[in-house]
Amino acid sequence: MADHFITIDRLRPIYIIENQGEQLCLCRAPLGGPAAAQFMDALIALGCRKFLAVGSCGTLVDIKENDFLIPARALRDEGTSYKYLPASRYVDLDPAAVEKIGQGLKEQGLPFEPCTTWTTDGFFRETQDMVEYRRGEGCQVVEMECASMAAVAAKRGAEFGQLLYTADSLANVEAHDDRDWGQASQAKALHICLRIIHNF
């Protein structure tokens, strides 16, 4: 362990690992845009310039569990991104990072899809009406950090991309399906990203 990110309620470990002859920073970001952005800002201050985030998402359309998706843009339904970038409906992720992640998945023989994600900070406000509305705006999945982290990276001049794996499903708005919360993909996604990050 190299350091800790100190917050009011806990210490978040920051690890430096050796992987394929390179030193990488490995850490677990907190849940939600504000906390993830705060953590990312701290890592940038410590010298990190390239970020590959991996995390789960809920599906708004019929996508099976444990599929891999690469966000190409994020709908900004949280407040944090507006502290870093001018107001807009979406934030586009770095096309070069999206391409590198896609190439890395291809090299590992893994199918994937690009997607538009809905970044929200209202976990229990993913209502039936809102899910249907976001679908109409072209969103396939929902999560809580992507737009915020993409905005931090754009503001700070860092490179950022994200790999999502599908967990629960909101495709049937009248019957939320936890499925298995994407647990089968957690370790696999981390190992995939450890290979991809060397192309950043």
- In a domain, residue 41? The reply is no
Count other Cβ atoms within 10 Å, centred on residue 179.
Answer: 17
- In a domain, residue 32? The reply is no
Closest CA to 79 of 33, 48, 30: 33
Structural domain count, the chain: 1
pLDDT digits (tens, 9 = 90+) for 138-167: 999 999 999 999 999 999 999 999 999 999
Q: What pLDDT score was predicted for residue 21? A: 86
Q: What pLDDT score was predicted for residue 8? A: 60
In this structure, the chain runs to a length of 200
Task: Give the pTM.
Answer: 0.92
- In a domain, residue 2? The reply is no
Q: What is the CATH number of the domain that holds 110?
A: 3.40.50.1580
- In a domain, residue 118? The reply is yes
Q: What pLDDT score was predicted for residue 4? A: 62
Q: Which domain holds residue 195?
A: 50-199
Q: What pLDDT score was predicted for residue 5? A: 59
Cα(65)–Cα(32) distance, integer angstroms: 22
For the chain, which ranges sit under pLDDT 50?
1
